[in-house]
Amino acid sequence: MIAAIWPINARILGGKRIPDFFRLFALFCLCQTLPVLAQENLPIRQVRFLGNESIPESELREQLGQKDVRGFSRLLFWQPGDDFSGTVLKQDLQRLQNTYQRQGFLQARIESEKIISSDGESVDLLFRIDEGQPVLVDSVAFVISPADSHATVLLMAFDRKKMRLHPPMRFRDDEFETDHISLARYFSAAGYPFVKIHPLFSVDSTRQHVRIVYRIDTGVQCRFGPVRVIDNRYVATSSILKQIAFQSGELVSDEKLHKSQKQIYQLGLFNFVVLRLLQEELNGTTLPVEVRVREAQRLTVKWGVGYGREEQFRTFIDITRLAVLGRDRRIRLILRHSSLEPYHANLSWIKPAVILPSISLVINPFVRREKEPGFTIDRLGSAFTLQSRIAEQTDASIKYSFEQDRLSLSSLMRREALDDIEAKLYNKSTIEFGFFSDRSSPVFNPSRGYSLGCTAALSGVGLDSDFHYLRSLVDFRRYRSFADRWIWAMRLKIGAIQPIWGDSITPIEERFYAGGSTSIRGWSRSRLGPSGQNNEPLGGNSVAEMSQECRFPIWGQLSGVAFIEGGNVWTLSFAFPLDELQYAAGCGLRLNTPIGPIRLDFGTPVFTGRRPWQVFLSFGQAF
């Protein structure tokens, strides 16, 4: 490139040659840019911050468009740091500056330094930060304008301790936005849907103090008027109105509008639901409400096929039909097949708004064959369930089920598992209470939040049940993200069964089992716990499982996992001797898809001598 500059001809200058002075100047400019060009595309080895006393380094790193490799990711040789880019560096500096300003440091100064390694193969980035003095809140005041006596009384009742910003705190944009929204919601919940909050700031640059004044224009206080439902063709208007969480004449509240929207949507009959205050039809202080819905297709069919190490070939078909035996009711048929379930037909008829708007009735006849290690059972029965959404992402249910079971197992297994009871065809009736809260996300591959499921069942209630027992189970899962797309996942599962009313045994199909692709992965399905002379699993009346898993990115949609697990199954009820816990460890791969990961796991027992590795291929996370 340098040699190409010198003989340049200047035909564009009328055929005259470029004077030597200009040629030398161009060569000088090029030489000055060569070090900068050489730095481009070099991998970033390390990013450091100096002077960040008020904002943690982890928060500053989130603002960077180019990063180094941190923490455990350094162990992965195929994950080098990002390549250096001067353009991105300028953007990073601006983002860091904006971050400090949002945190109240209006005088912050940030400079960057690039340090090329001695071998010239990588670059370090150093950000020097002079935070300066932060802006502190001097005072917070509220003014009702125009004056309104009722709004003034309402303001006096406002709990100002809930405000995030108060003297002498440092001013932060996020805290201010939260206060702004909270104040608007407070007046909106009191019947002022048109409230407007106008914040005014007075900054003392000498003392680095700010005075905040919220000027509140409440508008007119309104009450709910009549409710109008539009665009519903098949679902009765009366069924929709049952889900409205307010009555005409009540003060307007955004919270009640949102609750009504959720309750209507949870009927399962609509693709979307929108509630709107008809401001153009305001009559004095009365606001009519419009409910616009789009009904779901009356008939939907879903199907799928797959393969798993335990289930082998599996398939299902899911058919839903709306408006069956009632315009607000639906029926759902699910058919499944796999090596563990040769056949399973489950029919559900769902009637919403029973007793209360949030309660649904589900009538559920079923027929099912289960083929497990040690036994095969055919079930024929039905269940009646009342289920309700009791809080955000939290459901509760009460279910009564009865079934007739036909059990197939060897004579040796019958003597060992059932005390040689000859009954092959028997009845069971059970009442079960359930609670489930799922605050994890995203749905198919959780990376944050938690879920908690609890069930308690009493068997032997009516219909000449042949077994009587109490069964309880708690399943807790926790997810947390850290580093760059690394996820820590934890599961704790505890359950117990207690025979009652003179019974001494529990049915083998209702007992607890451990081991398998979604259990302790050092053992194959159901193989951890009590077993008979022929090494077939007998199950137990107590179970405990604990798992911890670290999920980390590898490349693109491929990720890895390392796990350690412990647990066991015991014959006695409510017996959890910790010195009898068995442990397993392993690793695996995940190929992420839009509907969840394809999973390959390798697990082996530890502390128990040499045992073969277990291999599991399945769909979805283990927990």
Quote the number of domains for the chain. 5
174 and 233 assigned to the same domain = no
242 within 8 A of 227, measured Cβ to Cβ: no
Nearest Cα residue to 104 out of 182, 175, 51, 160:
175
Structure tokens at 28: 């000088």
604 within 8 A of 583, measured Cβ to Cβ: no
Alpha-helix runs per DSSP H in 117-251: 149-156, 173-189, 237-241
412 and 456 assigned to the same domain = yes
pLDDT tens digits along 321-347: 988 877 788 999 999 999 999 999 999
188 and 247 assigned to the same domain = no
- Residue 497: the pLDDT is 97
The answer to whether the bond into 597 is cis (omega within 30° of 0) is no
Q: How confident is the model at residue 172 (pLDDT cuts 50, 70, 90)?
A: very high
429 and 532 assigned to the same domain = yes
User: Can you tell me whether residue 4 is helix, strand or coil?
Assistant: helix
300-318 mean pLDDT: 91
pLDDT(37) > 50 = no
pLDDT tens digits along 283-296: 889 999 999 999 99
Half-sphere exposure of 170 (CA within 13 A, CB side): 15
- Tell me whether residue 443 is in a domain: yes
86 and 234 assigned to the same domain = no
- Residue 420: the pLDDT is 60
Structure tokens at 572: 């006695």
598-607 mean pLDDT: 93
- Residue 515: the pLDDT is 94
- Tell me whether residue 546 is in a domain: yes
pLDDT(72) > 70 = no
Average pLDDT, the chain: 87
Last residue of a domain, one of 257, 280, 295: 295
Exposure of 391 by Cβ count < 10 A (0-12 exposed, 13-18 middle, 19+ buried)?
Answer: exposed
- Residue 423: the pLDDT is 66
Q: How confident is the model at residue 413 (pLDDT cuts 50, 70, 90)?
A: confident
- Residue 80: the pLDDT is 56
What letter would DSSP give residue 297? P
Global pTM? 0.73
Top pLDDT among 209 and 3 is at 209
CATH code of the domain in which 517 resides: 2.40.160.50
377-389 mean pLDDT: 95
Q: How confident is the model at residue 100 (pLDDT cuts 50, 70, 90)?
A: very high
The rounded distance, in Å, linking the Cα atoms of 615 and 603 is: 7
Q: How confident is the model at residue 46 (pLDDT cuts 50, 70, 90)?
A: confident
189 within 8 A of 254, measured Cβ to Cβ: yes
8 and 119 assigned to the same domain = no
- Tell me whether residue 338 is in a domain: no
- Residue 197: the pLDDT is 93
- Tell me whether residue 68 is in a domain: yes
- Residue 39: the pLDDT is 58
- Tell me whether residue 320 is in a domain: no
600 and 484 assigned to the same domain = yes
Q: What's at 41, amino acid-wise?
A: N
- Residue 32: the pLDDT is 46
Q: Which residue has the tokens 């079923």?
A: 366
pLDDT(552) > 70 = yes
587 and 438 assigned to the same domain = yes
- Going by their DSSP bridges, the two strands 359-372 and 196-204 should be labelled as unpaired
pLDDT tens digits along 1-21: 333 333 434 333 344 454 555
- Tell me whether residue 301 is in a domain: no
Last residue of a domain, one of 94, 110, 130: 130
- Residue 2: the pLDDT is 35
Q: How confident is the model at residue 410 (pLDDT cuts 50, 70, 90)?
A: confident
pLDDT tens digits along 218-239: 999 999 999 999 999 888 898 8
pLDDT(30) > 60 = no
Question: CA 189 → CA 178, 275, 361, 390, distances in Å?
Answer: 16, 16, 32, 21
- Tell me whether residue 9 is in a domain: yes
237 and 379 assigned to the same domain = no
pLDDT tens digits along 554-582: 988 899 999 999 999 999 999 999 999 99
Q: What percent of the chain has pLDDT over 70?
A: 91
- Residue 34: the pLDDT is 42
493-514 mean pLDDT: 93
Nearest Cα residue to 281 out of 344, 353, 228:
228
- Residue 1: the pLDDT is 38
377 and 268 assigned to the same domain = no
- Residue 81: the pLDDT is 63
pLDDT(611) > 90 = no
- Tell me whether residue 323 is in a domain: no
402 and 287 assigned to the same domain = no
CATH code of the domain in which 95 resides: 3.10.20.310
Range of the domain at 190: 136-217
Q: What percent of the chain has pLDDT over 90?
A: 60
551 within 8 A of 564, measured Cβ to Cβ: no
- Residue 8: the pLDDT is 36
pLDDT(247) > 60 = yes
Structure tokens at 597: 């990961």
Last residue of a domain, one of 158, 187, 217: 217
pLDDT(76) > 90 = no
Convert 179-213 to b/e letters by CB count within 10 Å (16 or more is b): bbeebbebbbebbbbbbebeeeeeeeeeebbbebe
439 and 574 assigned to the same domain = yes
